[in-house]
Structure 1
């Protein structure tokens, strides 16, 4: 169907067209479908303050270079959505660590969704995320999400932990959570979607000490 490619500051120059596609798809989904009007932009690209050189994009890209799914990781030691926009979701303090990243902007294009059924495209994205995190020694993710994600991620073995009570925001109930990126979660997720092979396009080299220090500076 597609592979997941990890795109960061070291290789983003190779994926300028795919990154542009992904920003436009995000606008179609979050503004067009979900009606998040505060994200609307006249150029049709959904970009926020955290789409910067610290961001890591995991994009589902087909053999003919079309973007069909995506998500974003941001180092928790840098400004991110929970710390700068929704700190009230973590009343006991924003979780931060070198091995903890924030996970946001997960999407699958409408043509690949399977309403009411298991969605293979979503499973590929989840497995790609887990593969990447395990390779990079990223042990936990934080996130701002709707409350229904807790049951979904629990079933996949991600062990979601709420950081505080949910709040109502723009007609939805959202909550701050952390999840585990573990071998057990990876195995359970692969079984859930019957995925038996690697979904990353290539083995992404481990994050060097230099790159990690750049993220904390």
Structure 2
């Protein structure tokens, strides 16, 4: 069984070992496998300018406590990828508000990615993302992502607005999106991944 651990600045010490592993997995995925040159470092840890006390980490853990997926939320009133690195992706300027957070660093363990079908762990992380956002009062999520993501997210029943044109980037074509956080999106994502009921426990409701 996979569960979502919500890690914040307040409870980070409880997850110290898991968080270190999380940053090493990010290095393996983004630097070694995807070869994102912009985030390469001389150490086997991938951290960027937005891994601050404001970041909220969603870690998908299996029954043994092993990380099998992850994601990150950052408030848009703080420095974030769209606002500070790729503002030109948003034609009318990057959206910033107390109830808009940016979504980054979504990944699934390579060994668990679906072959010829959706990964069950992806469904857990995506549902967990929306559930956490809804419980925190987050109205919308912005994201800088590969250009194929709008079609995939709309297929899940998500309301997605493209904020500007696709940018040809050295690490792949990217686009900025603004996503509505709604109970309907959670319900349709659960149906798509055959998930019955909430991903988060009451203990994870107030990170």
Whole-Å separation in 2 of the counterparts to 1:204 and 1:67:
16
Whole-Å separation in 1 of the counterparts to 2:15 and 2:81:
24
Partner residue, 1:66 = 66
Matches within 5 A, 1:37-52: 37-52=37-52
Partner residue, 2:146 = 146
Whole-Å separation in 1 of the counterparts to 2:116 and 2:205:
37
Q: TM-score, length-normalised on structure 1?
A: 0.92
**Residue ranges of structure 1 left out of the alignment (5+ in a row):** 208-217
What is the RMSD of the two structures over their aligned residues, measured on CA atoms?
1.3
Q: Secondary structure at the match of 1:172?
A: coil
Partner residue, 1:76 = 76
**Residue ranges of structure 2 left out of the alignment (5+ in a row):** none
Residue 38 of structure 1 deviates from its aligned partner by 2.1
Residue 131 of structure 1 deviates from its aligned partner by 1.0
Partner residue, 2:55 = 55
Residue 92 of structure 1 deviates from its aligned partner by 1.0
Whole-Å separation in 2 of the counterparts to 1:146 and 1:121:
20
Residue 205 of structure 1 deviates from its aligned partner by 4.5
Conserved? CA contact 2:36–2:171, under 8 Å: no
Whole-Å separation in 1 of the counterparts to 2:94 and 2:72:
18
In the TM superposition, structure 1's runs of 4+ consecutive aligned residues that sit over 4 Å from their partners are none
For residues 159-208 of structure 1, the C-alpha deviation after alignment (integer angstroms, 9 at most, x for no partner) is: 1101111110015211011001100000000000000032224443547x
Whole-Å separation in 1 of the counterparts to 2:206 and 2:117:
35
Residue-pair matches, total: 207
Q: TM-score, length-normalised on structure 2?
A: 0.96
For residues 109-158 of structure 1, the C-alpha deviation after alignment (integer angstroms, 9 at most, x for no partner) is: 11111132111000000011111111111111000001110011111122
Whole-Å separation in 2 of the counterparts to 1:86 and 1:202:
36
